[in-house]
């Protein structure tokens, strides 16, 4: 219907006296015809006259009068109005308005989906937490966001691949390995533990597998004359452990890594997040092998003159994207930086042929965006292909007190704790209830409370209530809910607002997809639920006339479907009973 109206509007614009071609296309690009915010403004509304008025420097109201006549003359609408500064508000014929419901029933679980993305390939890389311990609640937010985003993008016609980048090659893994070994040597070392090592309970569990294998002659030498600086201390321990027995080192390292990756996979799976790909940093190879991916990406950049040698190190000129200084790829001692791996990793992603790459990063990495964009450009791809979405930290509050977390100290509230505490669905919901790039205060007591302030249950309650009415309806009338009913001329209007609201859903999903903002769906569902609860209180459905009940059940079925589909996009299962 909106397409039909837009066609007429475009004809109208082109027919304006003396209009230039440029203006026509400018107006057509800018104006919006959409489902009205509220029924007060009809079913469909357009701002085209105001846009045209501003571009043509003419009076919007005058344009509105002409357009109004033209649309009225089509005689396919119940009513056409001019309102405010020049809006055209259109009221559909009853039959057309109610046909929205049929549309929902036909599309069912697919109501809200579209093929807008035209099958373009999108890769979303998210979580990618260092494999040095279980996920904490900060990672949970990225997980919920990335996963919801991928569901929304899939739903709007993109082909989506979810990937986790495992940093298994860096210093963090060395610290992890050292932590495990030192923990196993607890007795020999009289309980000594380096300041910067990981302390969590899981460290001990990982090490237990080795038992007697981890024994060194004169182990106590390890801790003699250690530097007092925490960083230097752990470095020295790593070096001497590797020197003492590289085989044990590698064995412990590989084992620890695989245990922790499994741990992370389990946490994510309990959170309903499944990745398509697990990409290991180590697969990019070493800088020492000339044909490894990491080496060849540096070679490519050097050939292009963007990478260059200076002071014994290899640098990348990243100023093309407004980075404030050049960045080192290879240190003067020959070791690659983390940035070099990342450049090689992004080259690998680009070579895999995605149309769009989305990186979901913690907000503390925002200083890193420009240099990675610059590297993508340097590799010969437009930086517009890469979108970095930042996810801010989430602060957790319990009984009004902030919960602290730190992987290193081992004393933290993990994602698993959160899921055990309030459930995966409620946790996902609250993570998604605010724009990802803004600070989130997550109140655990609220998430468990049974008040209206707890929006998660408020929405679920609406779904459950409809489920329960349907149940009762089927039992008392022995009828099934009509799969399609003849409601063309039913004049019962108390569900109109509900029908109007659910008709907004497909466009909302699209908006959420285009702006990469799952939280829009959360707020939409809250509004829809509020309309439903209000209707529910004012109207006793099952004591209506038979004809009206049929329409109401049909409409509520649509509401239920819309809530279920919306929750589905967030990765949340709707409740049938509460």
Partner RNA sequence: GCGCCUGUAGCUCAGCUGGAUAGAGCAACUGCCUUCUAAGCAGUGGGUCAGGAGUUCGAAUCUCUUCAGGCGCGCCA
Judged by CB under 7 A, the chain residues 427 through 486 that form the site for RNA are 434-435, 437-441, 450-454, 457-458, 461, 464-465, 467-469, 472
* Segment 321 to 340, residues that bind RNA, using CB under 7 A: 324, 327-328, 331-333, 335, 337-339
| Nearer CB in complex with RNA: 287/415 | 287
CB of 390 to RNA, least distance (A): 7
Min dist CB 308 to RNA, Å, is 12
Helix, strand or coil, per DSSP, at residue 387: strand
Contact 292, 285 (CB under 8 A): yes
Query: What are the C-alpha distances in Å from 381 to residues 317, 347, 372?
Result: 16, 9, 12
Using CB under 7 A as the binding criterion, the count of chain residues that bind RNA stands at: 85
Sheet holding 159-166, edge to edge: 277-280, 159-166, 121-125, 356-362, 386-391
Report if residue 36 touches RNA, rule: CB under 7 A.
Answer: yes
Q: Which is nearer to RNA, 221 or 480 (CB)?
A: 480
Residue from 304, 479, 542, 573 binding RNA (CB under 7 A): 542
Q: Rounded to whole angstroms, how far apart are CA atoms 501 and 36?
A: 9
Stretch binding RNA (CB under 7 A), from 96-104, 304-312, 479-487, 563-571: 304-312
Nearer to RNA, 178 or 214 (CB): 178
**Does 402 participate in binding RNA (rule CB under 7 A)?**
no
Reading the block at residue 384, the tokens are 């517009």
Structural tokens at position 11: 């004809």
Residue 171 binds to RNA (criterion: CB under 7 A): yes
Strand ordering across the sheet containing 87-91: 33-35, 44-46, 87-91, 79-83
* Alpha-carbon span 107 to 99, nearest angstrom: 13
Determine if 170 is a binding residue for RNA (CB under 7 A): yes
From residue 183, give the alpha-carbon distance in Å to each of 187, 188, 211, 555: 9, 10, 11, 63
**Nearer to RNA among residue 155 and residue 318 (C-beta):** 318
Q: Which stretch binds RNA (CB under 7 A): 46-54, 263-271, 487-495, 496-504?
A: 46-54
Distance CA 533, CA 460 (A): 11
Please report whether residue 92 would count as binding RNA according to CB under 7 A: no
10 Å CB burial of residue 208 (0-12, 13-18, 19+) is exposed
367-396: contacts with RNA (CB under 7 A): 367-368, 390
85 near RNA, judged by CB under 7 A: yes
Task: Extract the tokens encoding 341.
Answer: 């791996």
Pick from 477, 486, 465: nearest CA to 542? 477
CB of 59 or CB of 220, closer to RNA: 59
User: Is 138 one of the binding residues for RNA (CB under 7 A)?
Assistant: no
Map tokens 């509230």 to a residue. 413
Cβ closest to RNA, residue 59 vs residue 221: 59
- Kindly indicate which of the ranges 1-9, 34-42, 257-265, 380-388 contains the residues binding RNA, using the contact rule CB under 7 A: 34-42
Integer Cα distance of 171 and 478 in angstroms:
68
Q: Establish if 228 lies at the interface with RNA (CB under 7 A).
A: no
Give the residue among 208, 215, 158, 212 at the shortest CA–CA distance from 189. 215
In the complex with RNA, which residue's Cβ is closer, 332 or 398? 332
Among residues 144, 181, 541, 559, the one that binds RNA under rule CB under 7 A: 541
Q: Which of residues 338-357 bind RNA (CB under 7 A)?
A: 338-339
How near is the Cβ of 186 to RNA at its closest, in Å?
A: 26
Hey, is 559 helix, strand or coil? helix
In order, the DSSP letters of 132-143 are SS--BHHHHHHH
């Amino acid at each position: 219907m909106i397409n039909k109206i837009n066609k007429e509007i475009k004809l109208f614009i082109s027919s304006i006296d003396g209009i230039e071609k440029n203006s026509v296309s400018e107006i057509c690009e800018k104006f919006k015809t959409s489902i009205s915010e509220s029924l007060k403004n009809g079913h469909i509304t357009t701002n085209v006259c105001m846009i045209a008025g501003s571009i043509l420097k003419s009076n919007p109201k005058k344009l509105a009068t002409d357009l109004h006549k033209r649309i009225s003359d089509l005689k396919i609408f119940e009513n056409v109005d001019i309102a405010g500064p020049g809006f055209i508000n259109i009221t559909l014929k009853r039959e057309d308005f109610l046909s929205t419901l049929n549309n929902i029933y036909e599309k069912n679980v697919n109501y809200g989906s579209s093929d807008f993305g035209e099958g373009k390939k999108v890769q979303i890389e998210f979580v990618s937490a260092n494999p040095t311990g279980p996920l904490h609640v900060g990672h949970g937010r990225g997980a919920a966001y990335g996963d919801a985003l991928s569901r929304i993008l899939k739903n709007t016609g993109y082909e989506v691949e979810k990937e986790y980048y495992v940093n298994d090659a860096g210093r963090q893994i060395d610290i992890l390995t050292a932590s495990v070994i030192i923990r196993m040597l607890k007795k020999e070392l009289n309980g000594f533990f380096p300041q910067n090592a990981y302390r969590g309970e899981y460290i001990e569990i990982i090490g237990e597998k080795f038992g007697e294998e981890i024994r060194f002659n004169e182990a106590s030498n390890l801790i003699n004359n250690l530097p007092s600086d925490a960083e230097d201390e752990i470095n020295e321990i790593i070096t001497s452990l590797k020197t003492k027995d590289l085989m044990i080192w590698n064995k412990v390292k590989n084992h620890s890594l695989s245990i922790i990756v499994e741990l992370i996979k389990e946490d994510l799976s309990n959170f309903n997040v499944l990745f398509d790909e697990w990409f290991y940093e180590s697969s990019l190879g070493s800088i020492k092998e000339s044909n490894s991916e990491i080496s060849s990406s540096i070679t490519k950049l050097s050939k292009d003159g963007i990478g260059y040698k200076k002071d014994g190190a290899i640098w990348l000129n990243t100023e093309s994207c407004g980075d404030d200084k050049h960045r080192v790829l290879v240190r003067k001692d020959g070791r690659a930086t983390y940035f070099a791996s990342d450049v090689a990793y992004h080259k690998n992603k680009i070579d895999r042929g995605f149309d769009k790459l989305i990186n979901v990063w913690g907000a503390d990495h925002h200083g890193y965006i420009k240099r990675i964009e610059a590297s993508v450009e340097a590799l010969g791809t437009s930086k517009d292909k890469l979108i970095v979405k930042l996810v801010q930290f989430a602060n957790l509050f319990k009984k009004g007190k902030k919960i602290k977390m730190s992987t290193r100290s081992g004393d933290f509230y993990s994602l698993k704790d959160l899921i055990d505490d309030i459930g995966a669905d409620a946790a996902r919901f609250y993570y998604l209830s605010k724009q990802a790039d803004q600070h989130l205060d997550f109140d655990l007591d609220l998430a468990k409370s049974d008040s209206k302030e707890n929006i998660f249950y408020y929405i679920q309650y609406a779904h459950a209530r409809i489920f329960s009415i349907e149940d009762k309806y089927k039992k008392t009338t022995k009828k099934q809910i009509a799969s399609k009913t003849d409601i063309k001329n039913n004049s019962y209007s108390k569900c109109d607002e509900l029908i109007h609201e659910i008709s907004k859903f497909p466009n909302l999903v699209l908006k959420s997809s285009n702006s990469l903002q799952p939280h829009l769906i959360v707020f939409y569902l809250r509004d829809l639920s509020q309309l439903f609860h209000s209707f529910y209180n004012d109207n006793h459905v099952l004591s209506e006339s038979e004809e009206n009940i049929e329409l109401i059940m049909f409409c509520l079925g649509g509401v239920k479907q819309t809530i279920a589909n919306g929750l589905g996009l967030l990765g949340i299962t709707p409740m049938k009973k509460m």
